[in-house]
């Protein structure tokens, strides 16, 4: 049986209280939202904080509201289930609702939060294991060791970003509201939030909290879709996921395309140079094939999860093609 280490559990009700607790206990404290990822990770000895600061009762982290400018603000502690059923989210960004509804299983979606999904720790075959298992290999760069078993000789962790909601939010171009000790606040585009460092893949210091996410209103002609590759059609983490947001003008020409692929490296990868391929015409089979080939060239899965990396790579263009063919009806105007 995997046991948890002893820790103190704090249940603040205000954001400033939560931030003060994190500040007071420094590296010995971690925030916990639904705990669906953190608790298993603590059982594996990957994190052993002496203080857990629960976000569940912090009022400022709750609520899904439409702002005056038409954007939707989602509190970071809203559950994946709430996001997937919210009327405003379903109206503007059904693709995000779809991505959230494909995360793990019903119980975990009720406990797990959208903020925890954005801040999800990266995953790896050689990391999400018991201490005994990891010790037998001499540990690794991400925790307790100094080698990488995925890229022998590598000096950087390349564990996989495995958060489905975050990939959808990247394609949407969400903005993240972050609060730090002493009342510091900043809002950053999600594109500048993630880094390629698998040890800690986000530009957010320990002690800071993700407060909310803001979804822009979809521009006229917007279409969006999300696809997830997994072994079973439930509970599994993604082997790969793809999210796309396109704008099609009234004549049927593609004005823009934001395409993200994740589940491979340590952050959701924006597939570059796709605008040139789709510009000036409809998103027809030929252009979709061009975009799928571009994604294949840019995405290189590694052996950081158990499923064969070459097969996952071969599935990239298939997934991209399915997403683009499935863009569906225009969301706005
Ligand atoms: C069996 C199983 C299957 C799963 N399948 C999937 C899947 O298919 N797709 C997927 O995306 N995820 C999956 N997950 C992971 C997880 O359930 C979800 O990602 C969930 O959204 C995590 O949210 P949480 O609130 O439980 O996060 P927690 O476990 O509470 O926290 C996760 C991390 O985020 C930090 N954190 C949480 N909230 C904040 C905040 N507001 N500000 C700063 N830091 C914060 C915590 O300190 C911790 O480091 C799975 C988990 C399990 C156990
Ligand atoms: S990618 Fe390498 S360093 Fe990172 S968790 Fe896996 S084995 Fe460890």
pLDDT of residue 330: 73
Task: Tell which one of 150, 195, 309 to mutate to probe ligand 2, the residue whose CB is within 8 A of the most ligand atoms.
Answer: 150
Stretch 57-70: mean pLDDT: 97
Considering the segment(s) 222-325 as one domain, its CATH architecture is 2-Layer Sandwich (3.30)
How far does the centroid of ligand 2 lie from the alpha carbon of residue 169, in Å? Answer: 25
166 lines ligand 1 (CB under 6 A): no
Phi, psi dihedral angles at 201 (to 5 degrees)? -95, 20
Stretch 278-288: mean pLDDT: 94
268 lines ligand 1 (CB under 6 A): no
* Beta bridge partner(s), residue 226: 243
pLDDT of residue 333: 55
179 lines ligand 1 (CB under 6 A): no
pLDDT confidence bin for 331, thresholds 50/70/90: confident
For residue 31, which atom of ligand 1 is closest to its CA?
Answer: 47
Q: Does 161 score more than 70 pLDDT?
A: yes
112 lines ligand 1 (CB under 6 A): yes
124 lines ligand 2 (CB under 6 A): yes
For residue 208, which atom of ligand 1 is closest to its CA?
Answer: 43
79 lines ligand 1 (CB under 6 A): no
- Give just the sign of the alpha carbon dihedral 283, 284, 287, 288: positive
**Nearest CA, atom 8, ligand 1:** 237
pLDDT of residue 233: 83
- Give just the sign of the alpha carbon dihedral 236, 237, 239, 242: positive
Question: Is the separation of the CB atoms in 281 and 315 below 8 Å?
Answer: no
Q: H helices within the chain, ranges in order?
A: 15-25, 38-43, 80-85, 87-92, 94-101, 106-111, 114-118, 131-136, 164-172, 275-278, 285-298, 309-325
Task: Tell which one of 47, 138, 140, 267 to mutate to probe ligand 2, the residue whose CB is within 8 A of the most ligand atoms.
Answer: 140
Question: What is the C-alpha separation between 113 and 104, in angstroms, rounded?
Answer: 12
* Beta bridge partner(s), residue 243: 226, 260
pLDDT of residue 332: 63
pLDDT of residue 234: 84
- Determine the longest span between alpha carbons in the chain, in angstroms: 63
For residue 159, which atom of ligand 2 is closest to its CA?
Answer: 1
Question: What is the C-alpha separation between 204 and 194, in angstroms, rounded?
Answer: 9
Stretch 116-127: mean pLDDT: 98
pLDDT of residue 309: 95
Closest CA to 195 of 265, 244, 128, 136: 265
Question: What is the C-alpha separation between 142 and 307, in angstroms, rounded?
Answer: 20
Q: Does 317 score more than 70 pLDDT?
A: yes
Q: Does 300 score more than 80 pLDDT?
A: yes
Taken as a whole, the chain contains a residue count of 333
* Domain residue limits, the chain: 222-325
Residues 219-276 have pLDDT tens digits of 999 999 999 999 888 889 999 999 999 999 999 999 999 999 999 999 999 999 999 9
Long-range contact list for 179-182, CB < 8 A, 24+ apart? 179/15, 179/19, 179/208, 179/209, 179/211, 180/19, 180/205, 180/207, 180/208, 180/209, 181/19, 181/20, 181/22, 181/23, 181/207, 181/208, 182/19, 182/23
pLDDT of residue 27: 97
* Beta bridge partner(s), residue 240: 229
For residue 130 the two structure tokens come to: 């018991």
Q: Does 78 score more than 60 pLDDT?
A: yes
Q: H helices within 182-284, ranges in order?
A: 275-278
Residues 1-21 have pLDDT tens digits of 899 999 999 999 999 999 999
Question: What is the C-alpha separation between 212 and 206, in angstroms, rounded?
Answer: 17
**Nearest CA, atom 4, ligand 2:** 157
| Average pLDDT of the residues of the chain | 96
Stretch 200-216: mean pLDDT: 97
pLDDT confidence bin for 106, thresholds 50/70/90: very high
Residues 39-55 have pLDDT tens digits of 999 999 999 999 999 99
For residue 204, which atom of ligand 1 is closest to its CA?
Answer: 43
Residue 3 burial class via C-beta count within 10 angstroms: exposed 0-12, middle 13-18, buried 19 and up = exposed
For residue 191 the two structure tokens come to: 């594109």
State the pTM of this model.
0.97
């Amino acid at each position: 049986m995997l046991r948890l280490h002893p820790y103190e559990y704090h249940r603040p009700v205000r954001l400033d209280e939560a931030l003060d607790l994190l500040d007071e206990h420094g590296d010995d404290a971690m925030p916990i939202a639904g705990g669906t990822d953190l608790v298993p990770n603590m059982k594996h000895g990957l994190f052993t904080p002496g203080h857990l600061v629960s976000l569940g009762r912090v009022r400022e982290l709750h609520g899904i509201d439409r702002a005056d400018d038409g954007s939707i603000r989602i509190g970071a502690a809203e559950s994946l289930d709430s996001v997937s059923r919210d009327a405003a989210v379903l109206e503007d960004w059904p693709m995000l609702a779809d991505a959230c509804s494909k995360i793990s299983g019903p119980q975990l979606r009720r406990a797990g939060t959208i903020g925890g999904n954005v801040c999800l720790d990266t995953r790896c075959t050689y990391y999400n294991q018991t201490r005994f298992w990891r010790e037998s290999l001499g540990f690794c760069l991400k925790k307790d060791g100094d080698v990488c078993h995925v890229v022998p000789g590598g000096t950087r962790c390349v564990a996989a970003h495995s958060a489905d909601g975050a990939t959808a939010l990247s394609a949407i171009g969400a903005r993240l509201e972050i609060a730090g000790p002493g009342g510091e606040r900043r809002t950053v585009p999600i594109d500048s939030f993630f880094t390629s460092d698998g040890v800690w893949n986000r530009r957010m210091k320990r002690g800071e909290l993700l407060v909310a996410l803001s979804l822009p209103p979809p521009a006229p002609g917007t279409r969006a879709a999300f696809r997830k590759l997994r072994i079973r059609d439930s509970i599994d983490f993604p082997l790969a996921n793809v999210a796309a947001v396109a704008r099609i003008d009234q004549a049927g020409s593609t004005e823009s395309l934001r395409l993200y692929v994740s589940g491979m490296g340590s952050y959701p990868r924006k597939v570059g140079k796709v605008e040139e391929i789709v510009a000036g015409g409809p998103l027809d089979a030929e252009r979709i094939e061009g975009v799928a080939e571009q994604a294949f060239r840019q995405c290189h899965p590694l052996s950081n999860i158990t499923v064969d990396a070459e097969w996952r790579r071969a599935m990239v263009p298939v997934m991209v093609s399915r997403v683009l063919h499935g863009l569906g009806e225009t969301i706005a105007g």
